[in-house]
Chain A
Amino acid sequence: MSDKGTLAIYWAASCGGCEIGILALNEKILDVAAAFDIVFCPCIMDTKARDVEHMPDGHIDVCLFNGGIRTSEQEYMARLLRQKSKVLVAFGSCAHEGCIPGLANVTNRQSIFETVYLDSPSTDNPGRTLPLPEVQHNGFHLALPVFYDTVRTLGQTVKVDYYLPGCPPEADRVWDAVVAILEGTLPAPGSVIGAQTTVCDECTRTRSEKKIKAFKRTWQVWPEESQCLLEQGLICCGPATRAGCQSRCPTVNSPCIGCYGPNAGVEDQGARLITALASVIDSNDAEEVERIVREGVPDPVGTFYRFSLAHSLLRRAALVPDEERHELPLPRAAQ
């Protein structure tokens, strides 16, 4: 065994883009390899959970964990890697705040199973078989992980030392984090490694007074290239999103969609975005405001919480919506 540090990279409910995000370090990946032995990374190496189980506690110096927690297997791996790692980093938007997989929190296990295994046009399932956590087959006991109703973030599951936001994290920010780890200049545990301010602070577009009579969707306009996108009626998540990407999307004439999560000090990205957008609507008439909102934001959850639903204050949509409750009228207290 060399005197290098040990590094683990794991994925849970994620898309694999975070591994690509690490590879985007390009030739600097060689510096990472010079500093660390990669001891566990199912994406690129033949390593198994058993290998991790066999390690003494705290054997892994740094674990970059990407993905949210959707199944009991992912929860098990999160807890196992927590136990075996000195520093556990929630790497990328999924581990940090649920990201796109977390948007499934607008629905539930039953509906997801019905869509995936029964209703989708390409599915052929005449027996209408749905996955079960346990089954007896030819005398064997077979088990699958339990699929949860709600996607949780890594931080809602185990103690996380650092968060590295982004979908995926920008290579430069990953490198900053690697340097901070190697030089021992990490911030206080529990904090986000990255910028404190918003995407607007990095955006080079010209800003003046914002007054909007209607929100437009990206396919409806060809945005002017130097003016603030929000002023042009496009919903840009910049005012409520953490900096760190050099405003990559606005630079190429596309509004920010919020993948870096809320900026420092903000608990709920959607609430902050609502606050920001409410200030730019140019109407003091309640009915007109309602029309602008209804017509301009057809999908409020997907717009305000595209990346952060699992990490928001409510975390999910109601399992039983108010509209579907058919409870008996409850007794009143004496008048």
Chain B
Amino acid sequence: MLREIYEPKIVGFFCNWCSYRAADGAGTARIKYAPNVRVVRLMCSGRVDPAFVLKALALGADGVLVAGCHPGECHYIEQNYKTMRRFAMLQHTLTALGISARRVRLVWASAGEGAHLAREIDRFVEDVRTLGPLHWQTQLAEPDHTAEIDRILVEHAEAMEVGR
């Protein structure tokens, strides 16, 4: 039987000052890495509201990669520490919701570490590939009872001779 080839959809939130430039650098240096990450550039990894990650997963992403400056090197002094703490809580919560903590990853990459970031992206994509698709919207799908309920509404209205 033919099985559809699964390519993980991954959303990346990259810091403007380091990891986004690292990704740029990887490109300039012609380093090959998995094309699965859709990168969103933010001013700081500290800007990553957990809601962004949840929304990405809810709307179809199979994994989310957050990348920021190494601890101690934040352009805004210490916001990446907040990212780190937030991330720990988010992973803890996702695990409780039955979503593997391996679907979200936090990596540190300075502007000069294009090769390192490319390697981390490859590793993350392979990990999410092993986990398989998340397809969150199918988790929410209930059998559709609309037709049945419409039928009851009409039947009852007719039985009660309700004018429309």
Give A248-303 interface residues, CB cut-off 8 Å to B: 267-268, 270-272, 274-275, 277-279, 281, 283-284, 286, 289-290, 293-294, 297, 299-301
Residue among B86, B97, B148 making CB contact with A314, cutoff 8 Å: B97
A111 at the B interface (CB under 8 A) = no
Q: Which residues of B contact A53 (CB under 8 A)?
A: 156-157, 160, 162
Say whether A79 faces chain B, with CB atoms less than 8 Å apart: yes
Binds A, one of B16-24, B37-45, B110-118, B139-147: B139-147
Taking the complex as formed, is A146 at the interface, i.e. its CB lies under 8 A from any CB of chain B? yes
Q: Which partner residue on chain B sits nearest A55 by CB separation?
A: B162
Identify which of B5, B102, B103, B160 contacts A50 (C-beta below 8 A).
B160
Interface status of A197 (Cβ within 8 A of chain B): no
A72–B149 CA distance with the chains assembled, in angstroms: 8
CB of A327 within 8 Å of the partner chain: yes
Contact between chains at A281 and B85 (CB < 8 Å): yes
Residues from chain B with Cβ under 8 Å of A290 in the complex: 88
Q: Are A267 and B51 in contact (CB under 8 A)?
A: yes
Q: Which of A13-21, A35-43, A186-194, A316-324 contacts B (4 or more CB under 8 A)?
A: A316-324
Q: Does B28 lie at the interface of the complex (its beta carbon under 8 Å from any beta carbon of A)?
A: no
Distance to closest chain A CB from B63 (angstroms): 11
Restricting to B68-101, which residues have a CB under 8 Å from any CB of A? 71, 78, 81-82, 84-86, 88-90, 92-93, 96-100
Residues of B that sit less than 8 Å from A by CB:
3, 5-7, 49-51, 54-55, 57-58, 71, 78, 81-82, 84-86, 88-90, 92-93, 96-100, 102-103, 129-132, 136, 139-140, 142-143, 145, 148-149, 152-153, 156-157, 160, 162-164
Chain A positions within 8 Å of B, measured between CB atoms, are 50, 53-57, 72, 75-76, 79-80, 83, 106, 146, 148-150, 267-268, 270-272, 274-275, 277-279, 281, 283-284, 286, 289-290, 293-294, 297, 299-301, 304, 312-323, 325, 327, 329-333
